[in-house]
Structure 1
């Protein structure tokens, strides 16, 4: 169970975002949290993969033909 206290202005904004998607505020907030958690876990996995292969995170550079960059363009 998760309980949140939010002010009326934020609640109104959340209601609007949820309504646009045909969702309840609760479902909208939960899906947003899940998405953010997934994004963070995916970013961490990419960084760990880059460490494993000995590449440093940073701006994409030229990649040899026989090597695939594990970041797949994720910044």
Structure 2
């Protein structure tokens, strides 16, 4: 995966705030901005995926609510189920 240069002109006050936020996380301003953009892009893609799923299947529990039934839930794990982290300090 290659990289490309993006140049932007921003207000000095905004740059100071970005420097402050980045410094709190031990990051450069460039890394902080890139990480923020990546997170925002993921959030948008996730929301789009949820919206598309709801279009296909309908809102969660809509089938049961329309038929007067309880919404479907996942079955409970067996009582003898042990979590992988159990007993690990």
Equivalent in 33, 40, 49 of residue 29 of structure 1 = 33
Aligned pair count? 62
Give yes or no for the alignment of 1:64 onto 2:71.
Answer: yes
Give yes or no for the alignment of 1:13 onto 2:31.
Answer: no
Q: CA RMSD in A?
A: 2.1
Superposed CA deviations along residues 7-61 of structure 1, whole A, max 9, x for unmatched, are: 11110000000000000000000000000000000000000000011338xxxx8
Residue equivalent to 1:47: 51
Normalised by the length of structure 1, the TM-score is 0.73
Once residues 35 and 26 of structure 1 are traced to their aligned partners in structure 2, the CA distance between those partners, rounded to angstroms, is 14
Q: List alignment gaps of at least 5 residues for structure 1.
A: 68-75
Once residues 73 and 11 of structure 2 are traced to their aligned partners in structure 1, the CA distance between those partners, rounded to angstroms, is 54
- Larger Cα Rg: Structure 1 or Structure 2? 2
Once residues 57 and 29 of structure 2 are traced to their aligned partners in structure 1, the CA distance between those partners, rounded to angstroms, is 42
Normalised by the length of structure 2, the TM-score is 0.63
Q: List alignment gaps of at least 5 residues for structure 2.
A: 75-89
